[in-house]
Amino acid sequence: MNNKKESSKTPIRELGKYQLTDRLSARFISSNEATLQGPGDDASVACFREPLTVSGQKLSLEGVDFDLSYFPLKFIGYKTVIHAMGQVMAMNAVPLQLLVCAGVSQRFFIEDLDELFLGIDAAARIYGADVTAIDIQSSYTGLSLAVTALGEGDAGMLTRRSGAHDNDLICLSGNVGAAYMGLKLLEREKRVFTGDSGRDQLPDLKGYEYILERYLKPELPKKLLENLKKDDLIPTSMCLLTNGLAHGVLSIAKASRTGARIFVDKIPIARECFDFAQTDKDLSPLVAALNGGDDYEMLFTIPLESYEILSKEYSIDIIGHICDASHGCMMITPDGKALKLESPGF
Amino acid sequence: MNNKKESSKTPIRELGKYQLTDRLSARFISSNEATLQGPGDDASVACFREPLTVSGQKLSLEGVDFDLSYFPLKFIGYKTVIHAMGQVMAMNAVPLQLLVCAGVSQRFFIEDLDELFLGIDAAARIYGADVTAIDIQSSYTGLSLAVTALGEGDAGMLTRRSGAHDNDLICLSGNVGAAYMGLKLLEREKRVFTGDSGRDQLPDLKGYEYILERYLKPELPKKLLENLKKDDLIPTSMCLLTNGLAHGVLSIAKASRTGARIFVDKIPIARECFDFAQTDKDLSPLVAALNGGDDYEMLFTIPLESYEILSKEYSIDIIGHICDASHGCMMITPDGKALKLESPGF
C-alpha cells in the first residue's frame, strides 16, 4: 500500500475500532466557526450563517473507483473528498463539514489508514472544510470510503442544473479529458507492474505528470467560483463534470428543457492529452474530453450579457450556447457539421 | 435475494446507471417544507427552520453489517436508514433528509434494488424524512450502502454525550439485548439453511418473531423524544445504543468525565431473550444486553429533579445514576456486589 515494508507496519487489530478512531480523529481540529460538534459524538453539528444547507455524498469502492495497485491511499482520500465537496460547490454553495466512513479489511495496516486520512485532511484543509465525523469499520471485501460534504448556501446564489435559458453561454472552468488519459496511462503501465505485458521493464510514467495528477489528485475551481460571486455573476445553471463533458451538457439541457450547441474547436483540451494520445492509436483527445470523466471542472451557463466581462477578466472557456429544446444538443465540428451530442447510458 | 425466481428478474445492465437512478428516484417525492432540492441535481438542498444542522452517516457492508443469506434486502435498507437517523435523533435533533449511495454488483437484479429502496422509503416515511439524493454505482465485491441523515436542531435542546452531571438519572428508552439474540438465532438457523448442521430440517424461526424483528427491523423512540421536548425535559446527555449498553454508559461517562452506577436488576430485558437463552447454554441475556449491540434504543441522562414526572408519566427505565469520576463505571448486582463495567475494545 505504501513503500514502507509491511513487516514494520502495525496490524489494525492491535488498536481496535475505538482507539483507531481516536487516533485518526486526533488529526482533525475544527476550524470553521460553523462547526459546533466534530468527531466523537453520535452526529456532527453545524450552525451555518447562510440559510441553506447543501449536501453531497460520494461512495468510493475498490476496483471501481480506484485500483490499489496504482492508486496511492493518500490520493483515494483526497479525491473522494474532492468529489463530495465538488457536488456542494456545483450548487454555488461552500462546503464546510465532511463526514467520513471507511470500511477496511484486515490486510490494511494502521499506517495505511494514516495515509488515507492524510489525503482526507489535505483536501479538507485546502478547501476549508472540517472533518466532523469519522467511523471505521471492518470490511470482508475491498476498501470502501463514504464521504459526505455539507455546506452553506445563499438562496439567491443557488445554481441548479435546471436554470439554463435560451442564449445563455456555456462555460467551462478548465480543460477536460486529461484525467481520462491519466487513467489510460496507469492501466497500461499496470500491465508492466504486474508483469502481464511480457516485457522486462519498469512502469514508464515520466513526462506524464500532468495527466496523472489530473486523474489521481484533481482540484476544484474554488477561486473562480468566489470571483464570480464577488462580481455578482451568478451562473443560471452549474454541474460538476465527473462523467464527461457530453454528460454534463446533456444533464443541464435535460433539466432546463433546452437544447445546446457546443463547438469542438472551443473545447479546451490540454496539450498533454494530444501528446499521450500519440502513443496509442485507440486514444482520441476529443472522445476523452466528451466521455472520459473525472475532470472535476465546473460546467456552467451564464447570460449572454456577461460575455464581455467573462472573456476579458476570466480565464474560462466559452464553448457554446443554450438554444431551444427543439434544436437538440449538438456538437459543431470545425468544418461546420452538426453532430448529435451523446453520452453512454444517458 | 427475494422469493421471485431469478429467471424472471431483470439484469441491472438492461437499464444502466442513469435510468436505474431515475427509476429508483421516482418513488421519492419530497414532503418536508425544508427540502428545496431532492434527487437529480449535484447536491441536495434544505432550508431548516431551526438554527442547527445535525448530520450522521452509516456505511453498511455485506458480510459485516448483514448476511444476505438471511437478511432481506428491504430490511437492509430500512435498518441502515434507522441507524443514520438514530444518530441525528441522539443529538435531540429531527432528521429531515437522507442521502443514499449504493454499490451493487452484477449479481443483483433491478427487482432486488426495488426491494432495497422499498425499505429505505418505508423508514423515511415512518420517521418523516425525505430521500434527497440517490446514487447507484457498480461494485466488484459485495453490496454496500451509505446513508447520510441530515436534520435540524435547536441549540438549547442539543444533547451531547458530554453533558452528564453527578446524580443525573441514567435512563433507557426500551429493553436491550433482544437484537443480539435475534442475530444469534439467525446465525444458528443459517447452518440449517446452508446444510452445515448435518440435519435434514427447515430453519426454525417460529415463536421468535420478537427477537428477529428487533435485529432485522429496529425502530427508534421518536414519540418518547417528542414527549420529552413537549414537557421541557431536556436530557443532559444522550447516546444511540448500537454497540451494547455497557459501551453507551462508558461513552457518556468518558465524554462527561464522570463515573456511573447501573443496577443489574433495573436493566430492562425482554422475556423473549430469556426464552431464547434457554435453548443455548452459551447465551446470557445480561451479556446480550451489556455487550450485544444493535438495540437502537436511546441511553440518556436527566437531572434527578425529573424523577417524579419520568417515573409517573413515561414508560422508560431508570437503570442507575451518574457519579463522580473517581468511583468509575460500575454495575451493581442484585446481591450488592459492584463489578467494573466493561465493553470490548473500549
Residues of B in contact with A102 (CB under 8 A): 59
Q: Based on the fold, state whether residues B247 and B282 are members of the same structural domain.
A: yes
- At A43 the three-state DSSP class reads coil
Q: What is the DSSP string of A278-323?
A: TT-TT--HHHHHHHT----PEEEEE-GGGHHHHHHH---EEEEEEE
| Contact: B345, A17; criterion CB under 8 Å | yes
* Range in A99-103, A200-204, B272-276 the model is least confident about: A200-204
Measured CA to CA, the distance from residue B300 to residue B248 in angstroms comes to 9
Q: Which three cell numbers stand for residue A20?
A: 483507531
Q: Based on the fold, state whether residues A134 and A179 are members of the same structural domain.
A: no
Q: Based on the fold, state whether residues B70 and B145 are members of the same structural domain.
A: yes
Q: Based on the fold, state whether residues A84 and A175 are members of the same structural domain.
A: no
Q: Which residue of A has its CA nearest to B42?
A: A87
Mutate to test the interface with A, among B47, B49, B55, B139 (most CBs of A within 10 A): B55
Question: What is the least distance, in Å, from the CA of A196 to any CA of chain B?
Answer: 21
| Contact: A146, B43; criterion CB under 8 Å | no
- Could you tell me how far CA A201 lies from the centroid of its own chain? 32
Q: What are the pLDDT digits (tens) for A145-183?
A: 999 999 999 999 999 999 999 999 999 999 999 999 999
Domain termination site, one of B116, B138, B157: B157
- Could you tell me how far CA B49 lies from the centroid of its own chain? 26
| Contact: A162, B41; criterion CB under 8 Å | yes
How are beta strands A35-37 and A44-46 bridged, if at all? antiparallel
Domain termination site, one of A140, A157, A174: A157
Residues of B in contact with A41 (CB under 8 A): 91, 160-162, 255
Residues of A in contact with B141 (CB under 8 A): 61-63, 141-142
Q: Based on the fold, state whether residues A194 and A336 are members of the same structural domain.
A: yes
At residue B18, the pLDDT reads 84
Burial of A8 from C-beta contacts in 10 A (0-12 / 13-18 / 19+): exposed
At residue B6, the pLDDT reads 64
pLDDT at A197 over 80: no
At residue B202, the pLDDT reads 64
What is the ipTM, given to two decimal places? 0.94
For residue A15, is it within any domain? Answer: yes
Measured CA to CA, the distance from residue A283 to residue A181 in angstroms comes to 8
| Contact: A137, B61; criterion CB under 8 Å | yes
State chain A's mean pLDDT as an integer: 93
Residue pointed to by grid coordinates 444502466 = B16
| Contact: B53, A61; criterion CB under 8 Å | no
For residue B10, is it within any domain? Answer: yes
Q: What's the rounded mean pLDDT across residues A8-24? A: 87
How many domains does one find in chain B?
2
For residue B42, is it within any domain? Answer: yes
Q: Quick one: what percent of chain A has pLDDT higher than 70?
A: 95
Question: What is the least distance, in Å, from the CA of A181 to any CA of chain B?
Answer: 22
For residue A16, is it within any domain? Answer: yes
At residue A6, the pLDDT reads 64
What's the CATH code of the domain at B45? Answer: 3.30.1330.10
Q: Based on the fold, state whether residues B110 and B42 are members of the same structural domain.
A: yes
Identify the domain containing residue A43 by its residue range: 6-157
Look up the pTM and report it: 0.95
Q: Based on the fold, state whether residues B175 and B141 are members of the same structural domain.
A: no
At residue B191, the pLDDT reads 77
Q: Based on the fold, state whether residues A187 and A329 are members of the same structural domain.
A: yes
Strands laid side by side in the B52-61 sheet: A35-37, A44-46, B52-61, B144-153, B94-104, B130-138
For residue B1, is it within any domain? Answer: no
Domain termination site, one of A130, A157, A184: A157
Q: Based on the fold, state whether residues A315 and A212 are members of the same structural domain.
A: yes
Burial of B199 from C-beta contacts in 10 A (0-12 / 13-18 / 19+): exposed
| Contact: A137, B97; criterion CB under 8 Å | no
What's the CATH code of the domain at B327? Answer: 3.90.650.10
Measured CA to CA, the distance from residue B80 to residue B56 in angstroms comes to 11
- Contact between A61 and A144 under an 8 Å Cβ cutoff? The reply is yes
Q: What's the rounded mean pLDDT across residues A113-128? A: 97
Contacts of B26 (CB under 8 A, 6+ apart): none
pLDDT at A284 over 90: yes
How are beta strands A259-263 and A329-332 bridged, if at all? parallel
- Contact between B239 and B297 under an 8 Å Cβ cutoff? The reply is no
Burial of A242 from C-beta contacts in 10 A (0-12 / 13-18 / 19+): buried
Residue of A59, A162, A238 lying closest to B144 (CB–CB): A59
Q: Based on the fold, state whether residues B86 and B184 are members of the same structural domain.
A: no
Q: Which residues of chain B have pLDDT under 50?
A: 1-3
Measured CA to CA, the distance from residue A55 to residue B45 in angstroms comes to 7
Q: Based on the fold, state whether residues A222 and A143 are members of the same structural domain.
A: no
For residue A49, is it within any domain? Answer: yes
Residues of B in contact with A133 (CB under 8 A): 55-57
At residue A145, the pLDDT reads 98
| Contact: B148, A57; criterion CB under 8 Å | yes
pLDDT at A1 over 50: no
| Contact: A255, B144; criterion CB under 8 Å | no
Q: What's the rounded mean pLDDT across residues A128-144? A: 94
Number of CB atoms found within 10 A of residue A196's CB: 9
Residues of A in contact with B93 (CB under 8 A): 43, 45
For residue A188, is it within any domain? Answer: yes
Q: Based on the fold, state whether residues A139 and A221 are members of the same structural domain.
A: no
For residue B345, is it within any domain? Answer: no
